[in-house]
Structure 1
Amino acid sequence: MIQQIYPSPSHEYEFELNKDMHFAASHYIPHEDAGDCQKVHGHTYYANITIGGNELDDSGFLINFKHIKKLIHKRFDHTLLNKDSLFSDEDPMKFPTTEVVAKTVCEIIQEHLDTLEHHPVCLQVFLRETPTSYVIYRPKKGRVS
């Protein structure tokens, strides 16, 4: 993951921050179309989170990298994603697919960013599930979750 190039979201912010991280988690997709993925299995997810903003906080950060890692890694590393309250076995829009996990990561980050006075924005979450499969989630402009 080091020195990987990710697709860059279009924006006009002065600052763009990118945080790479990984977390190991298991999941299953509770739908017959998921085939073998209906069974519990695990991945080492690789994530790149992109945050933009025009102002820095009083410590000179758009956001401290450690806060991003704490929000995501601490919550999801070595867990069964299906057991997290943000996912559901009943609602297909909340099954822990790579798409939904990427969107959920963005929403968690944005919820934290919304508490900051300088208003940074989560622009993109790139989430790799396997060496050959990844999802990019970009919230629509002007829309938070």
Structure 2
Amino acid sequence: MMQQFYPSVPHGFRFELNKDMNFSAAHFIPSKDAGQCQEMHGHTYFVNVTIGGDTVDASGFLIDFKQIKQAIHKKYDHSVLNNHPEFKDKFPTTELLAEQIWQTIQDLLMATENKPFCLQVIVRETPTSYVIYRPRKEDFR
């Protein structure tokens, strides 16, 4: 596997965790502005999640890498993104997919004792195109 380095997000946390993963999914963007993307098509999405925190859990983790992968892979792999409830009233663009992945991860983190934060999510749709989602400070609950 070729190592990928992504833009980092400035933060003051003691620990930073990055998890890379991928999943395959289909989608379509039902808008005349989407051109060919109006038709159903698929991607192998590559995702990077950055998590920061000052405190580790009893096992010494910000969060176990496995939990991050399970939360995203299980949810989206081999699915049609348009069929997910979070995309009921909006199109499953790469931008909005990155935001939804952030929300899923942040909800998972808030359920932990040490409560780290998801600082950024990067979703690569093609080898040459990716989106970065970074929450605003007020998005952290």
| TM-score normalized with structure 1 length | 0.94
Aligned partners of 1:126 and 1:104: how far apart in 2? 11
Unpaired runs of at least 5, structure 1: none
- CA shift, 1:3, in A, is 1.6
Q: Name the amino acid aligned to 1:120.
A: P
Partner residue in 2 for 1:12: 12
Q: Name the amino acid aligned to 1:135.
A: V
Secondary structure class of the residue paired with 1:125: strand
Residue pairs, 1:1-145, within 5 angstroms: 2-88=2-88, 91=89, 94-144=90-140
Q: Which runs of 4+ in 1 moved over 6 A?
A: none
Q: Name the amino acid aligned to 2:107.
A: E
Secondary structure class of the residue paired with 1:122: strand
Q: Mark the CA change 1:30 to 1:144 in structure 2 (over 3 Å): closer, same or farther.
A: farther
- Structure 1, residues 24-48: CA drift from partner, whole Å, max 9, x if none? 0000001110011011000000000
Q: Mark the CA change 1:12 to 1:72 in structure 2 (over 3 Å): closer, same or farther.
A: same
How many aligned positions are there? 141
Q: RMSD over aligned Cα, in angstroms?
A: 1.2
Q: Name the amino acid aligned to 1:40.
A: M
| TM-score normalized with structure 2 length | 0.96
Q: Name the amino acid aligned to 2:127.
A: P
- CA shift, 1:116, in A, is 1.1
Unpaired runs of at least 5, structure 2: none
- CA shift, 1:2, in A, is 3.4
- Structure 1, residues 122-145: CA drift from partner, whole Å, max 9, x if none? 000011000111000000113138
